[in-house]
Amino acid sequence: MGAVDTVLADGVLVGVPRLPIAERAAALDAALDRHLADRAAGEAAAVAGVFDLALPDLELAAGDAAAGTPLWQACRARSRSRYGGQARVVRPRARWADLVLPDTHVAQLRSLVAAVHHRTRVLHEWGFADRSSRGLGTAALFAGPSGTGKTLAAEVIARELGLDLVVVDLSQVVSKFIGETEKNLSRVFDAVEDGAAVLLFDEADTLFGKRTEVRDSHDRYANLEVGYMLQRMESFTGLAILTTNARSVLDQAFLRRLRLVVTFPYPDRAARETMWRRAFPAGVPADVDPERLAAVDLPGGGIAAAALTAAYVGADGERITGDQVATATRWELAKNGRSLGGR
């Protein structure tokens, strides 16, 4: 993963590489032995494959594990990085049950979880990392219309992995000054690699758009930014998820470097009915007719928003009424200039 910069007494900056995974796993095992901490067979190797901790932090995590903290959580707590204003950290709460997707799509999402869990075995025990130092991370594109669950799926994956979800704030990363965008992105990538998290680029076409014919200096520097992103994504060793509503505008070079592309479908009536059945938390007193509501053409994000609006509208009473749900649904449609008479 990333290197640690050390300044010597004479002012020379020297890059000290991180421990390789095998050495990190051995160091963690030794620290756990010193602290008399229990762990499952192979657990230290699996944890070391995800969390890039320095030796002092490994020792502290082993102490936490000996005190009763699960080893994964102990390393997660010791690895959290700071991202300044360039990214925000989301503590994921969404679960697999919150996703309404075809089984084939869920299988693709679960394969991303497997790619992180089994990273040590595949790359190092089975030798795939010996073939190349690039492309060792996992990058996936979630493409589809707005409101179809792309960001929600990223949160589900992060929660399943027991990792933070780091959402890049493009408004803070992208700069009009030459070279600043690349510097900002480098800081985010390095922090995520050091801290072990799922990296999310929402509306990724802003950064990963197609390179253009160079007509002026603006085009040249824009193409340099895209080139940098290609290079950095290829060297990134973690899990990065890109979302887009417009797959066609992405540079084809990015698509070739992706491990997985998941196309999120616009929900049909059966899927919308399932979403309405799950829209209100268990125990919420709500009069909902999922079959009737499913006739209204709303994606999952719109259904969730309508349900929350209805809950606020109905909170003064003992129940959320069907009329209140219908009103909230009309309001959700109106946000996009639509009515119950059409899409």
pLDDT, position 23:
87
pLDDT, position 117:
86
* Residue 66: band (very low, low, confident or very high) from pLDDT cuts 50, 70, 90: very high
pLDDT, position 343:
45
CA 228/CA 181 separation, integer angstroms = 10
**What's the whole-number mean pLDDT along residues 30-44?**
90
Domain with CATH 1.10.8 in the chain: 269-334
* Residue 81: band (very low, low, confident or very high) from pLDDT cuts 50, 70, 90: confident
Dihedral of CA atoms 200, 205, 207, 209 in degrees, nearest 10, equals 150
What pTM was estimated for this model as a whole?
0.80
**What's the whole-number mean pLDDT along residues 274-302?**
93
CATH topology of domain 269-334: Helicase, Ruva Protein; domain 3 (1.10.8)
**pLDDT tens-digit series, residues 175-207:** 777 778 888 888 888 888 777 889 998 887 777
CA 134/CA 281 separation, integer angstroms = 44
pLDDT, position 300:
95
Q: How far apart are the first and last CA of the chain?
A: 48
CA 182/CA 173 separation, integer angstroms = 8
Domain with CATH 3.40.50.300 in the chain: 87-263
Statement: residue 1 has pLDDT above 50: no
pLDDT, position 40:
87
Better pLDDT: 133 or 190:
190
Statement: residue 254 has pLDDT above 80: no
Q: What is the CATH number assigned to the segment(s) 87-263? A: 3.40.50.300
**pLDDT tens-digit series, residues 297-322:** 999 999 999 999 999 999 988 899 99
CA 197/CA 165 separation, integer angstroms = 6
pLDDT, position 2:
44
Percentage with pLDDT > 70 across the chain? 87
Better pLDDT: 310 or 137:
310
By mean pLDDT, which of 27-41, 100-114, 248-262, 289-303 is the weakest? 248-262
Better pLDDT: 340 or 152:
152
Dihedral of CA atoms 27, 31, 36, 39 in degrees, nearest 10, equals -50
Average pLDDT, the chain: 84
Q: Are 179 and 118 in contact (CB under 8 A)?
A: no
According to the 3-state scheme, what is the secondary structure of the chain? CCEEEEECCCCCEEEEECCCHHHHHHHHHHHHHHCCCCCCCCHHHHHHCCCCCCHHHHHHHHHHHHCCCCHHHHHHHHHCCCCCCCEEEECCCCCHHHCCCCHHHHHHHHHHHHHHHCHHHHHHHCCHHHCCCCCCCEEEEEECCCCCCHHHHHHHHHHHHCCEEEEECHHHHCCCCCCHHHHHHHHHHHHHHHHCEEEEECCCHHHHECCCCCCCHHHHHHHHHHHHHHHHHHHCCCEEEEEECCHHHECHHHHHHCCEEEECCCCCHHHHHHHHHCCCCCCCCECCCHHHHCCCCCCHHHHHHHHHHHHHHHCCCCCECHHHHHHHHHHHHHCCCCECCEC
Please give the structure tokens belonging to residue 147. Answer: 């409101």
Q: Which residues, 6+ apart, have CB-to-CB distance to 28 below 8 Å?
A: 44, 47, 48, 53, 58, 61, 62
Q: Is 253 exposed, middle or buried (0-12, 13-18, 19+ CB in 10 A)?
A: middle
Better pLDDT: 152 or 341:
152
